[in-house]
Structure 1
Amino acid sequence: MNLKYTLKSLGLFLVFIPFVLSSECDKIDKDLLKSITECSTTKDGKINKLTISNVDLTEKQVNKLLSSYDLTDLSYNIDFEGSIYSIPKHSGYSEIPTAINKLKNLETLNIHYNLHYASCSAYNCNHAIIITMRKNILKNLKKLKVLDIRGIKISQDNINDISTLDNLESLSFDDTYLDESLNYKPIGDLKKLNKLIIKNNHDSYYDLNKKYYHETIPKDLVISNKGIKELSMILGGSLDLIDVDHLPNLEKLSFTFYNHGKGSPFRGDIEGDLSKFKNLKSLDIYSFNINEEFMNEICNLKNLNELYIKSCGIGSIPECINSSTNLEILHLPYNSIETVNGKINNLVNLKSLDLSNNRLTLIDDTIGYLKNLKYLDLSYNELTKISERSNNLENLEYLDLSSNSELENLSIGNLKKLENLDLTANEIGNPKDIGNLTKLEQLILPGNNINELPKEFENLKNLKILNLEHNELMKFPEQIAKLEKLEKLDLNSNKIDDEIPKSYNNLSKLTEIKLFNNEDIRGETLTNDKLVVCEYYMYYDNEFYSSLCRHGNEICLDETSFYNYYYYYYQIKLNIFMENILI
């Protein structure tokens, strides 16, 4: 297990939170520490992983960091401060350090040049800035398995260096300029390469001299290595499947259309024949137009077991989907689907179904046929009724029905394996049969007009997270005290005018309690040993107040803890609050 330090940015300041003390991480020079966002060590305390954010490091400091440790994992980020409406100058050393080449045990390397330039205030005026990378920086990193490059103008020397990485398995180009005139054939020599990712999140790039480059995805790069099994692309134009049909071993294909703003189409178009990809097991399409012919090609992929179609404007579940009986995952979120109507009843192997953010008003009896379903997301629809046969989904572990607003007569009491349930914003009133779901670990119930909990609630012995914010509770539910595994409790924004039950102190695993914005929370603060986050206070007329008495040694109420957790949200009145609360 790796030991970690994590540097977190909270608003106007940085808070350094050590999770586990580690000798070498603890000895990093203070002038370098601010540039380390993650430091991990081996079991014997030796640093093996660093994430560096270089905003103002000098070349000497960079070389010191990279030469002092035997790293197997490095994320090196060149970051900037200042307005995006001009190209800011870096305050330190802004080149890709040659010292990377000396890290012979590297297995994972991320090199990110993170600078964007907005030539105007319009949406489509945001451009990525690219720089060059010297020859030999990547050469002969023989143990490297994962390489992710961002913000670089790739040269032929860079391609040739990458081709020496004999153990490389995954190669990613993110907002890089890939010149179509380069020879990408050397990439084909990488026998272990099986994953290629190309992300063009901008339609154009500028170098530091403001020379313009248009985004490209060279076909010769895409088809350079016949061993590719996983291909993922983000592009701002149409996709021609001819560009990828030279990959006979392709098992996973993902393509996303990135809308570049004014003048750019809302979705991309797909050309070519998908049915050629006989070995395809996973297909992920985001924001492309899909016609009936293309959908039939998808349905004819007999080895397909994962299908993701997001934001593609489909108005109904295609009938041919019902013949894709090998499907285990079917995700169709952010479309315009209005009904299911028996179109998935044959998908008996389905384990995960996502129909969120559509226009569904009814889930019919079809749902009851999906006996192997473990994950079901129907959130953000217009559902008023779900068939009682949904109660037959005996293997279901995750259910999200949030934000349907008028869901009635919900029957879920027989879902004995359910571990995660989200019913946010459905106005279901007082939950009736949730107490039967004894394996629940997470229960999310905000915005449901709940004014009391049924006695059966105390049966939820495995519950770890309970969210009841924005309801109508006026008293603290006593049943909560019997939820012995509870770790997080949120009762924010109810109408509680009550004393905190002393029995809540028996919740030995409780780490977080939130009671903000109730009527009046009285009694004594909790003394649970593991409690590190506690919101007891009310905020009214620009002032914090509370009627609680405190014991004086609560970890979650000392000034340091309050500062760490809440200053990001409440950047005023810290001293006033600490002086007046809980007296």
Structure 2
Amino acid sequence: MTSDNPRNKNIKDELKVVHELKRKIDFGRIHFYKKKSSIFRLIIRGTNLTELPKEILHLSGLRDLFIENNQLMKFPEWIGKLNNLEYIEASGNIITHFPEEFSDLKSLIRLDCSFNPLKDVKNLFSKGLSNLSALILNNTGLKQLPSEIANLKLTKLYLNGNYLKDLPTSISEINTLLDLRIEDNKLREFPAEIMFLKNLDNLSLNNNELKSVPCDILELPHLRHLSLSGNHLNSFQIDNIKSDNFSFLDISANEFKTLPHNISNLFKLNVFLNLSGNPWEHFPDLSFPDEYKTSIGNNGTLIILDICYWNKLLKENRNMYDVLMSPMVDLTYKDIVLDYFTDLIHEGDDFGTISRKIKQASMDKCLFYSLEHKFSERIDLGAPHYTKFSSALLNLLQDLPIFKNINRNIYHPYPGIYVNNDRIFRLDLNSKHLKHVPKDISNIDTLEELVLRLNLLKSLPGELGGIDSLKYLDLSRNNFFEVPPSVFSLENLEYLNLSYNNLVDLPETIENLQNLKRLDLSNNRMRSLPAGIQNLEHLELLNVSDNYISDISSFIDFFKGGIRVDLSHNYIEELPKELQDRKNISCVFYIEGYFDYPYWW
């Protein structure tokens, strides 16, 4: 690299700007990405920033600006000088208005200002924003939209979680609009303007106060997805479906007592149909007309029902096999997802009773979407939180016929439990607010993949180290200050993710993981590379980005070994000369200012 190259000088100047920002703001919350001769993406998230630093103006090639979850009260007037800016993600601030100069962002394509208390948005709908195609204003407190919205050539408009009672007439002029979402608002009448949006592909009006929709709603020629869940609908006309690609209809949680008229018109299409949460008076007869049977095959209409309102029918006939087989005999062509079988299982039932009831229900003919167990231990695999976990439950799940021959690429009856050849091979407990991992997990001697990402874990049970079959372990985004010792007993482990924790170092016992191929230590507090990784002979990818590493000179020989390394966003001011020339090394790695961003991660 030659110092007099203007492109190199430009990127070095921009790197100085970013490093200056890092000195001003929490280092771990600023990230940036370089392409060719300039920084194209800047990320400043969750720093309590109250105003945008003016140094950003020196990033002439800036294309993407991510400033979510700060304390920004406004956009500065100089924002309009960022001529190349295409994407702004500014959700989760306290922005109330937009300056006039905002309309100078002629390259802007996408803007997300969700979760801001917007009061004045008139400058957002200027003709100057001629390239703005995606506008996301969810949960901003909007009570009405200005008529100037027609100045924009939007393809996506998201307005969820506001207080809109109607839409401006001018919105009907946005003939480019493909995706319109106005969920969780105050719409009492269906906005007639929507019927003029002839290119609309997706329309979602969930959780409003609608009592009716136009009978010709399905005549929109390009409509594929229609969501009307959580309203007050009790009738729906399914006639004259103009779009050959119509594939999704959600009318769940309304006030239907009988099936919509001409619902059989959907059966000739590949439609995902959600009818759950309605107060049915009768068990719906969903028999397919004879003329559609041959075209349905295994890819026809997928129907989601729930039977929580059909208590009378269930009490009269506790044998779910008969319930399924009599009115739905013609649905043997399809997988049926039955939502919340709460009446099938009584409070206090033990696992043996549950197992027998499920088997009696012949549930191998369908998939559970969410099975709620109402008994003392309160185990609910459909809920977002796990309270207790039992090896007896895991043993039960392995024996259930519903786990046999399930296509894992379509649907899973129990989110997070994956089965192959009747054995559990993957357990995903992602985002379950777990503070402790149950020892019983070690009883799954066929487990190959364990995901514990995004929990509250500080330690792991020693028994975990006894799962000899484990090859994949994700412990990212927890509260580990040190790696649990049991991890280093997993000698067959090939993938280990410890990113987004509070690790300062790794013990030398990391070298016990001789089969390890991928190791992710990014976004921790490491000041040096762990010495033990040099003895991992099979390591192929190493991610140590976003740490506090400043010196890598003792790892030069290691980097010549042919692995891929991400060293970006550390305190490395200069790369050792031995590593600056790709011809001298077989290692592929990324460090800003030297090599491009690694798309192989």
TM range (shorter): 0.5 to 0.7
Alpha-carbon deviation of 1:282?
A: 0.5
Contact 1:332–1:355, Cα closer than 8 Å, also in 2:
yes
Shift of 1:427: 6.1
Q: Kindly indicate whether the alpha-carbon contact (under 8 Å) linking 2:114 and 2:140 is maintained by their aligned counterparts in 1.
A: yes
Please point out which of 460, 482, 488 is paired with 2:470. 460
The answer on whether the counterparts of 1:430 and 1:450 sit within 8 Å (CA) in structure 2 is: no
Once the two structures are TM-superposed, the CA of residue 248 in structure 1 deviates from its matched residue by: 5.6
Q: Is the 8 A contact 1:285 1:309 kept in 2?
A: yes
1:48 and 2:86 equivalent?
yes
Report if the CA contact (8 A) 1:8-1:15 is conserved. Answer: no
The match for 1:163 among 155, 172, 186 is: 172
1:431 corresponds in structure 2 to 442
Note if contact 1:251-1:279 (Cα within 8 Å) is conserved in structure 2: no
What is the 5 A alignment of 1:412-491? 414=421, 418-422=425-429, 429=440, 431-434=442-445, 436-438=446-448, 440=449, 442=451, 451-453=462-464, 455=466, 457-465=467-475, 476=486, 478-480=488-490, 483-488=493-498
Give TM-score scaled by structure 1 length. Answer: 0.55
Inter-CA distance 427–464: structure 2 relative to 1 (3 Å threshold): closer
Percent of aligned pairs sharing the same letter: 14
Whether the 8 Å CA contact 1:284–1:308 is kept in 2: the answer is: yes
Tell me how far 1:285 sits from its aligned partner. 3.5
Give 1:192 shift. 2.6
Q: Which amino acid letter does the alignment assign opposite residue 134 of structure 1?
A: P
Q: Is the 8 A contact 2:522 2:544 kept in 1?
A: yes
Deviations 1:340-365 (A, max 9, x none): 33655674xx7x6423324599xxxx
In 1: Cα distance, 2:546 partner to 2:371 partner: 32
Distance 2:302 2:51 in 1: 41
Q: Partner of 1:148 in structure 2?
A: 158
Change (3 A) 1:343 1:75: same
| 2:256 paired with 1:254 | no
Task: Report what 1:272 is aligned to.
Answer: 260
The one-letter code matched in structure 2 to 1:461 is K
Q: Structure 1 residues 345, 138: closer, same or farther in 2, change over 3 A?
A: same
- The 8 Å contact of residues 267 and 301 in structure 2, kept in 1 or not, is answered as no
1:319 aligns with 2:324: yes
Q: In the alignment, is residue 307 of structure 1 matched against residue 303 of structure 2?
A: yes
Is structure 2 residue 143 aligned with structure 1 residue 130? yes
Q: 1:459/1:15 Cα in 2 relative to 1: closer, same or farther (>3 Å)?
A: farther
> Residue 354 in 1 paired to residue 369 in 2?
yes
- The question of 1:64 aligning with 2:122 is answered no
The reply on whether 1:509 has 2:535 as its aligned counterpart is: no
Among 92, 97, 103, the alignment partner of 2:129 is 103
Residue deviations 1:445-496, cap 9 Å, x none? 99999652465x34433444499999xx99645423652420139999xxxx
- Distance 1:377-1:293 versus aligned 2 partners, 3 A rule: closer
Larger displacement relative to structure 2 (65-74 or 393-402): 393-402
Unmatched 5+ residue regions in structure 2? 1-32, 76-81, 315-319, 346-356, 534-541, 548-566, 572-601
| Alignment-mate amino acid for residue 234 of structure 2 | L
Q: 1:333 to 1:490 in 2, by over 3 A?
A: farther
Unaligned runs of 5+ in 1: 38-43, 81-89, 116-128, 204-214, 259-266, 362-375, 404-409, 493-498, 515-523, 535-553, 559-583
CA gap of 1:308–1:298, structure 2 versus 1, over 3 A, is farther
Instruction: State the 1:527 CA deviation.
Output: 7.8
- Where 1:65 maps in the other structure, the secondary structure is helix
Write the distance in 2 (CA, Å) between the matches of 1:458 and 1:527: 22
Please say if 1:283 is aligned against 2:279: no
* Pairing of 1:364-403 with structure 2 (within 5 A): 383=393, 385-386=396-397, 388=399, 393=405, 396=408
Tell me by how many angstroms 1:196 deviates: 1.6
Secondary structure of the 1:228 match is: coil
Q: Could you say what secondary structure the match of 1:50 adopts?
A: strand
Structure 1 residues 139-218: aligned runs within 5 Å:
139=151, 141=153, 144-150=154-160, 151=162, 153=164, 158-159=168-169, 161-178=170-187, 180=189, 184=192, 187-201=194-208, 218=213
| Alignment partners' CA distance in 2, 1:47 and 1:101 | 17
Seen in structure 2, the aligned counterparts of structure 1 residues 449 and 64 have a Cα distance that, compared at 3 Å, is closer
- Higher strand fraction: Structure 1 or Structure 2? 1
| Residues 243-263 of structure 1, C-alpha deviations (whole Å, 9 max, x = no match) | x545464431112438xxxxx
* Residues 14/146 of structure 1: CA separation in 2 closer, same or farther (3 Å cut): same
- Classify 1:387/1:49 alpha carbon distance in 2 versus 1 (closer, same or farther; 3 Å): closer
SS for the counterpart of 1:234 is coil
- How far apart, CA to CA, are the structure 2 residues paired with 1:430 and 1:181? 51
Which structure 2 residues correspond to residues 14-29 of structure 1 after superposition, within 5 A?
Answer: 23-24=61-62
Counterpart CA distance in 2 for 1:278 and 1:394 is: 23
RMSD of aligned alpha carbons: 5.8
Partner of 2:359: 341
Q: In the alignment, which residue of structure 1 is the partner of 2:112?
A: 75
Asked whether the equivalents of residues 337 and 358 of structure 1 are also in contact (C-alpha less than 8 Å), the reply is: no
Query: How many residue pairs are counted as aligned between the two chains?
Result: 431
Decide whether aligned partners of structure 1 residues 393 and 35 sit closer, same or farther in structure 2, where only a CA change above 3 A counts. Answer: farther
Residue-by-residue CA offset, 1:361-392 (whole Å, 9 max, x unaligned): 9xxxxxxxxxxxxxx97997995734646585
User: TM-score if structure 2 supplies the norm length?
Assistant: 0.53
Q: In the aligned structure 2, how far is the partner of 1:448 from the partner of 1:308?
A: 40
Distance 1:13 1:310 in 2: 47
* 8 Å Cα contact 1:8/1:14 also seen in 2: no
Q: After superposition, what is the alpha-carbon deviation per residue over 1:487-524, rounded to whole angstroms, capped at 9, x for unaligned?
A: 139999xxxxxx9852126676142799xxxxxxxxx9
What is the CA-CA distance between 1:97 and the residue it aligns to? 3.1
